[in-house]
Amino acid sequence: MANTYAVVLAAGQGTRMKSKLYKVLHPVCGKPMVEHVVDHIQELGAERIVTIVGHGAEMVQEQLGNRSEYALQEEQLGTAHAVLQADSVLGNLEGTTLVICGDTPLIRPETIQALLQHHQETSAKATILTGIPEDPTGYGRIIRNAEGHVERIVEQKDASSEQQLVKEINSGTYCFDNKALFEALKLVKNENVQGEYYLPDVIEILKQQGDIVSAYATSDFEETLGVNDRVALSQAESIMRARIVEKHMRNGVTIINPTNTYISADAIIGSDTVLQPGVMIEGSSEIAGECIIGPNSHIVDSKIGDRTTIHSSVVTKSVIGSDTAVGPFAHIRPDSEVGNEAKIGNFVEIKKTKLGNQSKVSHLSYIGDAEVGERVNIGCGTITVNYDGKNKFLTTIEDDSFVGCNSNLVAPVTIGEGAYVAAGSTITKNVPAQALSIGRARQENKEGYVKKLKLK
Ligand code: UD1
Ligand code: CA
């Protein structure tokens, strides 16, 4: 959008969170609050985005990268003072500036769009996004005159008991005529209970100058929820979670118990996939269609192919092919790549391992730092001995080979194509293709020995 700019307020420490983590970096459905806000503004196509940062600025910059410009507010003297820090970047531009708090992650892009439109239609110098919550405590109240026009905003702490009865609140999101905003900001004083420079005071200043000030009320109060403490954080989390699961259900995903299913804001899920209770999908995971994700599975930053089943398992930063079965109780650790029609059974741990198509590790195994070919069968209790206490070594298991139960494969080692490893072997040397390797003591039977023992 031409001549539309945005200022994101993110310099407050967030004392009420009682946290070491900078407030706006607290995640809601897996994504830092401020990133939700910046995502929405980007979606609207604002020409420039300036994020106001304070202590912990580096962490916010690391999170948002070059998606935003930054202005430093060294001391947190209030929201008006915060916006003023963008003066050198935006102050001289003609256009409309959206100001939005980094702690209101639930505001939808559609609502911001409607706010901008209302602002344009009313030719206002400022338009406030307002809401009517059940309990307005803590928010700035919108004070209207007898004709219903906005006069000013009064903060909770400065409000008289009569003003505290007002239900309409300031969401902390506004549109301004850019030049009028920066001129008015310079006139804001800090004569209030908190001794802060309040951005909402700009409204009264513009009004007194005879400018048009307008308000756009959203009917969905939930959107304007400001996260100041952990109680509000959990409210934001549950509202956003409900929105996300609803989106997926509308896209054709079956979710057995939506209140007990946790999906990150950025996850992608194909249609006819079924999510059973307790499923948690984090990060930028992608799950294809017709999958069954069984109870309490936890999938983080992973990609899962069509018709794959994951039962009560943990999959992290890995790729799993189509028509594959995982679990119950399997652990797929980072950098693993499992092929199609493969099987990873119960109590199997896989780490940094490539497992080819149609290969099986069905029970009780640890396969780490390994390259396993296609159609390989790895017997129960197999272990890749990949670590000598200092370094990690690679195990290679070639196509069509068969590893018997309870084998130790001491890496670095290669099991050649089509080779067999006898059950109970400890393999320390490479096994040639098509060979049978037996790495265990020969069995000796002592006939009648038990009888002799008992006679002693
Ligand atoms: C603010 C509004 C209030 C509104 C509410 C909506 C003011 C004075 N009050 O109150 O009218 O109802 O939001 O949620 O604006 N920040 C800075 N620098 C500062 C202070 C704050 O960048 O010096 C940032 C914070 O990081 C936060 C945002 O501004 O993202 C709002 O600050 P916060 O302290 O949460 O304001 P509220 O008391 O919630
Ligand atoms: Ca707030």
pLDDT tens digits, one per residue of 385-402: 999 999 999 999 999 999
Helices (H) and strands (E) in the chain, counts: 9, 39
pLDDT for residue 368 is more than 90: yes
Residue 453 DSSP one-character state: H
Q: Rounded distance, CA 343 to CA 361, Å?
A: 6
The pLDDT assigned to 420 comes to 98
pLDDT in tens, 193-218: 999 999 999 999 999 999 999 999 99
Would you kindly state where each structural domain of the chain is located, as residue ranges?
4-224, 252-437
Q: Are 98 and 46 in contact (CB under 8 A)?
A: yes
**Contacts of 351 by beta carbon, 8 Å cutoff, 6+ apart:** 333, 334, 335, 336, 366, 367, 368, 369
Q: Which residue of 7, 9, 104 sits with most ligand 1 atoms within 8 Å of its CB, as the best mutation to test the pocket? A: 9
pLDDT single digits (tens) 1-55: 779 999 999 998 899 999 999 999 999 999 999 999 999 999 999 999 999 999 8
The average confidence (pLDDT) of the chain is: 96
Tell whether domain 4-224 is in CATH 3.90.550.10. yes
Predicted structure pTM score = 0.91
- Which run of H or E residues covers position 181? helix 178-185
Q: Residue whose CA is closest, atom 1 of ligand 1?
A: 172
CA 101 to ligand 1 center in whole angstroms = 7
| Atom nearest to 169 CA in ligand 1 | 12
CA dist 1 and 95 (Å) reads: 10
Element of type H or E holding 177: strand 169-177
In whole angstroms, give the CA distance from residue 327 to residue 309. Answer: 8
Count of C-beta atoms within a 10 Å radius of residue 75: 9
Identify which ligand lies nearest to the alpha carbon of 233: 2
Cα of 69 to ligand 2 centre, how many Å? Answer: 22
Task: Give me the CATH code for the 252-437 domain, please.
Answer: 2.160.10.10
Tell me the DSSP string of 191-258. -STT----TTHHHHHHHHTT--EEEEE-S-GGGG----SHHHHHHHHHHHHHHHHHHHHHTT-EES-G
Q: Give mean pLDDT, residues 86-113.
A: 96
Give the CA-trace dihedral at 2, 101, 59, 109, to 10 degrees. -50
What ligand 1 atom has the least distance to the C-alpha of 194? 8
- What single letter denotes the amino acid at residue 391? N
Each residue's pLDDT tens digit, 208-253: 999 999 999 998 989 999 999 999 999 999 999 999 999 999 999 9
What six digits make up the tokens of 128? 């406030």
Q: Ligand 1 — pocket residues by CB below 6 A?
A: 9-12, 23-24, 52, 73, 76-79, 81-82, 101-104, 139-140, 153, 155, 169-172, 198-200, 226, 228
* φ and ψ at residue 445, rounded to 5 degrees: -110, 125
- Pairing assessment for the beta strands 126-131 and 169-177 based on DSSP bridges: antiparallel
Spatial CA neighbour of 325 closest among 361, 289, 351, 352 = 361
Residues with a known catalytic role: 363
| Residue 128, burial from CB neighbour count under 10 angstroms (0-12, 13-18, 19+) | buried
Residue 299 has pLDDT above 80, yes or no: yes
Best mutation site among 79, 128, 129, 229 for ligand 1 pocket (most ligand atoms within 8 Å of CB): 79
In the three-class reduction of DSSP (H, G, I as helix; E, B as strand; rest coil), residue 370 is classed as: strand
Contacts of the segment 252-259: beta carbons below 8 A, 24+ positions apart: none
Percent of the chain at pLDDT above 90? 97
Query: What's the whole-number mean pLDDT along residues 266-277?
Result: 98
